[in-house]
Every structure is written in C-alpha cells, then in structure tokens.
Structure 1
Amino acid sequence: MSGTAVVTGLGIVAPTGIGIESHWNAVLEGASAIRPISRFDASGYPVRLAGEVRDFDTKARVPSRLVAQTDRWTHLGLAAADAALADAGVTPAELPEYEMAVVTAASSGGTEFGQHEMENLYQHDPEWVGAYQSIAWFYAATTGQISIRHGMRGPCGVICCEQAGGLDAVGQARRLIRSGSRLVMSGGTDASLCPYGLTAQLTNGNLATGKDAARAYVPFDAEARGYLPGEGGALLVLEDEAAARARGAERIYGRILGYAAGFDPPPGSDRGPALARTITAALTDAELEPAAVDVVFADAAGVPEADRAEAGALAEIFGPGGVPVTAPKTLTGRLYGGGAALDTATALLALRDQVIPHTVGPTEPAPGYAIDLVLGEPRHQRLDTALVVARGHGGFNAAVVLGRA
C-alpha cells in the first residue's frame, strides 16, 4: 500500500440537500436552507432560525431496529455512511474487516433522544427511561453504529473538538491509512435542534438572534452578529490510494495533502490565536508554499472578533487579498461536528468542477478585512489545491490541505 490517503466516496446529508448533487447544485445556486425552526416550537427562544435537514425519511434510510435505539444525529450519520460507501463502490463484506476503520467527529451527542428520556424521568419515574438512553446520547454512538453495521473492526474513534472536529477526524483517518488501514470512514454529523440542544448552544453567546434569514448569519460583514445553528454533515470514504486503484475505484475526488491542529492560548496570554500557526503547519505538512493554495474554505464564525482574527491570519499568510476565500456554510448554518466535514466535501466538489462557490449573505468584507471574499456568483478558475479551515468553541483550530485528483 502507498500510504497516500485519497477520498473515493462522499455521503452528504445537509440542509442544502440529501445527496452529492442536490447539495452541490444548491451551493452553486446560492440557495439558502436557513428557515424558521420547525422541529419544535422555538417562538420563545432568542434564536428562531436554523438550517434543518428537511424531508429526511428516517424509516426509509435507517433500519427499523436502530431508529428506536439511536438519536437523529446517528440516523443522519448512518444514512451518510451508506451513501458514501455506495458512491465509492465499496462493499465492506468484500474487504478484510480489521483493515477498515471508523473515525467521526461529534459535538452534541444525542441531545434530542436524551431530552425525551429526561422528560420521561422527571414527568414519570425511572421505569419510563429506556435502556438505549445509555448509548444513544453517547458521543461515540455514530462511530459505533457505523462500525457494527458495516463490519469495520479496525481502529475506531471519535473526535470531540466542536466545529474543528470534522478536520481532526480526517487527519486521524490519514494517520490510520499511513499505519496500514485500507479504508477509513470519516467525517461527521450533528443534530441538536431541540429545546435542550438549543439552550446549550445559547450559552456561548455567539448565536445570531436576527429575524431576517438572508442577513442573520453574515460572516466578515460589518453587520455580523454571530452565526446560526444547523444539523447534518458529511461522511467520507478515505482509502489508501494504491489499494483504491487496485480494487478499481471509480473515482478519486482528491488527496489529503496536509493537516495540522492547534489550540488557542488562554485569555490574557501574550500569545496570539493559533490559527495562523495551524495553517502554516498544515502547509508545511503538505510541502506547499502559500502561493500554491487556490482557495480557502473559511471557518467564518460570524462573530466580529473571530472574523477579524481569521481575516488577519489569512492576510498574514497569503498577503492582503492573496487568495479567494469562501464560506458556503452561510447556506446551512454552522453544523458543529458535521460542519468541517461538509466543508471538506464541498471543497472536493469545487476541485472536481473547477469552480469556487460564492458566499451568500455578506455584501462586502468589513473595513480592515483584507480578504478576497467570493461574493455574488461562483468564480470559475483553475483549482489544484484547497485549504479548509475550522475552529471550535474553546480554542480548537484545524486545517486540511486538499489536492485535486
């Protein structure tokens, strides 16, 4: 085996669409999936807009016995994993079980399932609490269920780094492939649009409370006032390149060229944010100079202080306006454990079709943000490499460099 990690399959379950082309077409059209929350009555909450995965038929996509045993975020993850394997043309039963691994990202865990069980406890008594509460809430539930369902018995794990976790999962998948795994299911999903989940998200103070769906989440804009939540994400099939070619893989979306992770210093430290150092480390790992990067898929927190820090890091590394920057996540909201995984899938599609999707919502970068934010319409140009950046609440930073197949 070569030890080079490539992506051969994508499974997308996102507010913008279920399936690769449904999502990708919505992104290129700038079709926002931000709507009033419909999964529960959010009229009494300060945040009433989100990106929901609508028209997801759980019974049609998830085995019936698992529907009652697992939370919605795992339902979305199981569906995405099935789609990714089908896209890759992989039949797990035909591969050595201990050479297949699963590493996913998780942020919220099974909050909706957990909420219902807590309601049973508080409104009735412990006998009303189901046994599956012990696993459905657990942040490793999706990894475990995918592993069991597809007989993937190699090294399995879960990364809990909030929004940055999707890139950290890809980085861990690459490590496993370099150490001998043939195939790794990686990426992540999240689903925390329930009263308990939304209340937990509100505590960081960074959610946007605007009522205009078109302008509530506008990263890098002078009117940025936070971000909107969302659910869903993407699962990716990563394979050793030599093994993928030997089995006759139908397509390779791209290569994982570089990865790095960092952590911000504590508040009040004389050291600056870790993002610039993390991006630089990822480029070093990829053995690339900044000029080789053709597009950046930004973290785009929508919080002025965080946006300013990210714009500053990009200008420091690439020069003022030195690289096109985009943030398709304004169409979906931030998906936490699923967000960076979806950005990675979207970046691979951009490399495939040689087009940079535009950022919907912002009108122009705020004064002092020296970035080339792609606005208005997609930008067609040659793309050989893409940088995906993610930050998670609490100081997590991650960066992945992708190369065209």
Structure 2
Amino acid sequence: MTTHALPAGSSALPADGRQDTALVTGLDVRAANGSGTEAFWQSLLQGRSGIGPITRFDASGYPSRLAGEIDAFDPAAAVPGRLLPQTDRVTQLALTSAAETLRDAALDPAELPDYGVGVVTANSAGGFAFGQRELESLWAKGPRHVSAYQSFAWFYAVNTGQISIRHRLNGPSGVVVTGQTGGLDAVGHARRMLRKGTPAVLTGAMESALCPWGHVAEMTGNRLSNTDRAEDACLPFGEHAAGHVAAEGGALLVLEGAASAGARGVTRAYGELAGYAACFDPPPGSGGPSGLVRAARAALADADTEPSAIGAVFAEGAAVPELDTQEAAAITEVFGPHAVPVTAITSLTGRPGAGASALDLAAALLTVRDGVIPPTAEVGRVPDSYRIDLVTGRPRPLAGDAALVLARGYGGFNSAVLVRRTDQP
C-alpha cells in the first residue's frame, strides 16, 4: 500500500476499539485525468483536467462534444481473454480496478472466513456500449446475431457479479442505483454489511457510457455543456457556469471493520468512514427543507462531529447555475458563510454518474491522508451571493482531520459521507 503509516506504537484500531469502525484499507481510481490512485491524486493537486473532445465516436453532430474519457486503457492487459467478449467497457474498468484495490489492501479473500468479503457497487447506466452494439446487430442482421451475453452485460448489477465471481468474494453482495449519489450510497450500504458481521466489503462505483446511445440519454437532462472549449466546459460555482460534461470512471475501495484489519495486521489505512446519511428532497413546491442540508447534518451527527471540525467540503459541483445556487445555500446553511473550504473536482474529471461521488470520496480520503485540499479548476468569478470559500488555483492545507463529501442525483437523491484521518484519537 502507498498510504501513510500510523505513528510508531499505534495501530489501525481506533482508540475506543469499536469493532464497527469502518476503515478504508484499499483504494483504486480510474479517471479521465489519471488512472491509479497516486496518478489521479497528483493530477488533482496539479489542477490537470481530463476533459477534451470526444474520440470514442463521431460527436460532431451532437450539441455536446466534450467528455472526460479515460485514455490508454487496454482491457486485454488486465482482463482474461474469455471475459472480453462477455463484458462492456464499464465492467472491464471495474474488474481492473477491483484487482488493484484488493492488491492495495493486501487482502486475500481466502485468508478470511467463508463469506468474509462482500461486494456492493453502484452504477447508473449499465453496459450501454455493449447494449448499443447488440441492438445494431438486432436491427441489421436479426435476433440470431444478438450475443447471449447481452442478457447480463448491460445490467446495473453486472460489475458486482463479475467482481464477485472473478475474485471469489462470496460474502453479501448488492448494487445501488441512485444516480450520482450511488458512489456514496454503495459505501454506506457496505458499512451496514460490516455492522452485520461481514469482515470486509469491496465497494464503490464505476461508469462508462460514452457511446451515441449513452450520450443521447445523458443529453436529455439538459445539463451538459455545449461549448467546444475544454477550459470553459465545466465551471462549478462560476458566474459563467453553463453545464457539466459526461465522463467515465470511478473508484473502488476496500471497506474493512477495525477488528478484521487488526487481525490481519493492518497498520495503515486511507481513513475512516465515520459518518453517512441519505435522504430525499421534499416534494416540489412543498417548501420543505433542503434534502442536502438534512443529509449533511445527519452525516455529521452520525459521526458525532461538529461542523467546525470539517476541514473541507467536496461539493457535487453541477456547474448548472440553479443547482450551484442550491448547493452553495446548503453549504452556507450548515457551516456558515465562507466558513469551510469547498472544492469541486468534477471540474477536472467530468461527471461519470455514480462514479463522480466515488471519485469525490477517493479525493476526500487522500485529502485527510495527506492534509491538503485539491483545487477546483479555474472557474472565473464566483458570485458573491454564493458565500462560499471555493478552493481554486492551487492546493490548500487542510485544517483538522475530517472532510465531508456531498452528492445529489436525479429524482431528489441526497447523500453525504464524512471521512477522517485514522491516526487521530
């Protein structure tokens, strides 16, 4: 593992010894601006964007022609040949990331009890590119030319299933479909599995739907940027924000109970998942309180943490003025005006559905590990009415040992996760 070691004489177990403490003992990232945890982290700290023209297909006839594509990914180098014709690109990315995550955690499932490692992932698109190819075969050649693998390769749960089979992870499994909040909701569900007795869970989210069919589906939300200038494509909280860009990627992690980590001799971890909460927005027009505010406060309460202890907020950063206004108001309501540094890394990665919140969570864990907040891309002037302290230009030191991740999804989903450094009492 590449994480920071705990101080001499300490262990991964928290001072209170609670067995339900959830530690992140393995992590891997796949993103447009860097694949592999440390490559991704360095790209964030340097403010390097992965947004550019779509190359996966001819997008010249589409209003939105930019995306966050993962370059230099060769599935044949990481996925067995027999699986290549069975799987969509999103599953190939997930299988690659799962292997790296288990390696990073030094976790051999055979060394844990039977059914000792579960899998829960999130996905909001499924295997779109695989499905498009099979539909084209159906229309052009007839049903005899449709692959039998289509029966599962398109499915939201396929990443969980293929990871479980490939690595013999026979513990409880599941899949979460909640839009962009999915990356946080999967981890929250994984923590429930730990509390019910499962020693460790491989969890997170991965997305890849950069094909014509997937792109058209994304455009129906009317939230994609139509500019051809990558530097102007995703400007969360900027006064000229006009949409975000589609992307692929995500992050997977090993969430492990403190007792399991201690028994394995784990002496370092990325951080502790200390708080999680999720809720729905109130019905439109009801005048009810913001769901994002309730989720943030519930996650803080779950972690028994005051707002003043949070050193950074990882915002959804929709780059849609109405949504940015709502999120800024929620952050201000919870923390106060300009009271906490805010960053939005979707400005550098694009927005890969459920994978976006998983990337935010990975960045938050690296932030508490290294004590530094990665910057948002340069977004220009931030309206005074937002009253937030947006980190731009360069990294900023983290004050304290905790960070809060926020996410929202279509249909009123709201989620929040609080992570903190493990070498603090």
Question: TM-score w.r.t. structure 1 length?
Answer: 0.98
Mapped contact 1:88–1:250 kept (Cα < 8 A)? no
Q: 1:278-289 residue pairs with structure 2 within 5 A?
A: 278-289=295-306
* Mapped pair 1:140 → 2:157: yes
Structure 2 residue corresponding to 1:294, chosen from 284, 294, 311: 311
Mapped contact 1:12–1:83 kept (Cα < 8 A)? no
Task: Pick which of 152-161 and 247-256 moved more.
Answer: 247-256
Structure 2 residue corresponding to 1:125, chosen from 138, 142, 163: 142
Give % identity. 53
* Mapped pair 1:203 → 2:220: yes
* Mapped pair 1:344 → 2:361: yes
Work out the CA distance in 2 between the residues paired with 1:404 and 1:246.
Answer: 20
Two-structure CA RMSD over aligned residues (Å): 1.0
Mapped contact 1:103–1:184 kept (Cα < 8 A)? yes
Task: Pick which of 57-66 and 241-250 moved more.
Answer: 241-250
Work out the CA distance in 2 between the residues paired with 1:374 and 1:287.
Answer: 26
Structure 2 residue corresponding to 1:58, chosen from 71, 75, 78: 75
Structure 2 partner of 1:257: 274
Structure 2, unmatched stretches of 5+, are 1-17
- Aligned letter for 1:227? H
SS of 1:227's equivalent in the other structure is coil
Count of residue pairs the alignment pairs up:
405
Work out the CA distance in 2 between the residues paired with 1:114 and 1:378.
Answer: 41
Mapped contact 1:103–1:157 kept (Cα < 8 A)? yes
Structure 1, unmatched stretches of 5+, are none
How far off is 1:262 after superposition?
Answer: 0.9
How far off is 1:63 after superposition?
Answer: 1.2
1:365-399 per-residue CA deviation (whole Å, 9 max, x = no partner) reads 22300100001100023330000001111111100
Structure 1 partner of 2:13: none
How far off is 1:342 after superposition?
Answer: 1.1
Structure 2 residue corresponding to 1:79, chosen from 96, 100, 109: 96
Mapped contact 2:234–2:346 kept (Cα < 8 A)? no
Work out the CA distance in 1 between the residues paired with 2:114 and 2:57.
Answer: 41
SS of 1:16's equivalent in the other structure is coil
Structure 1 residue corresponding to 2:259, chosen from 222, 242, 246: 242
Structure 1 partner of 2:389: 372
Work out the CA distance in 1 between the residues paired with 2:389 and 2:141.
Answer: 57
How far off is 1:26 after superposition?
Answer: 0.6
SS of 1:270's equivalent in the other structure is coil
Structure 2 partner of 1:219: 236
- Aligned letter for 1:357? P
* Mapped pair 1:27 → 2:44: yes
How far off is 1:273 after superposition?
Answer: 2.8
Mapped contact 2:312–2:398 kept (Cα < 8 A)? no
Mapped contact 2:378–2:393 kept (Cα < 8 A)? no
Work out the CA distance in 1 between the residues paired with 2:341 and 2:69.
Answer: 28
Structure 1 partner of 2:5: none
Q: 1:171-186 residue pairs with structure 2 within 5 A?
A: 171-186=188-203
SS of 1:267's equivalent in the other structure is coil
CA change 1:90–1:264 in 2 (3 A) is same
Structure 2 residue corresponding to 1:389, chosen from 384, 401, 406: 406
Work out the CA distance in 2 between the residues paired with 1:71 and 1:108.
Answer: 11
Structure 2 partner of 1:355: 372
Structure 1 partner of 2:9: none
- Aligned letter for 2:376? T
Work out the CA distance in 1 between the residues paired with 2:329 and 2:79.
Answer: 44
Work out the CA distance in 2 between the residues paired with 1:54 and 1:359.
Answer: 22
Work out the CA distance in 1 between the residues paired with 2:117 and 2:106.
Answer: 15
- Aligned letter for 1:158? V
Structure 2 partner of 1:106: 123
1:298-340 per-residue CA deviation (whole Å, 9 max, x = no partner) reads 0111111111011001101100001000011211101112111
Work out the CA distance in 2 between the residues paired with 1:255 and 1:352.
Answer: 10
Work out the CA distance in 2 between the residues paired with 1:223 and 1:18.
Answer: 30
SS of 1:9's equivalent in the other structure is strand
Work out the CA distance in 1 between the residues paired with 2:243 and 2:290.
Answer: 19
Work out the CA distance in 2 between the residues paired with 1:76 and 1:184.
Answer: 18
1:217-262 per-residue CA deviation (whole Å, 9 max, x = no partner) reads 1010110111111001110001011211221125211111110001
How far off is 1:17 after superposition?
Answer: 1.2
How far off is 1:270 after superposition?
Answer: 2.1
How far off is 1:114 after superposition?
Answer: 0.1
Work out the CA distance in 2 between the residues paired with 1:229 and 1:269.
Answer: 31
* Mapped pair 1:398 → 2:412: no
Structure 1 residue corresponding to 2:180, chosen from 144, 160, 163: 163
Structure 1 partner of 2:343: 326
Mapped contact 1:364–1:375 kept (Cα < 8 A)? no
- Aligned letter for 1:192? A
How far off is 1:152 after superposition?
Answer: 1.1
Work out the CA distance in 1 between the residues paired with 2:286 and 2:62.
Answer: 35
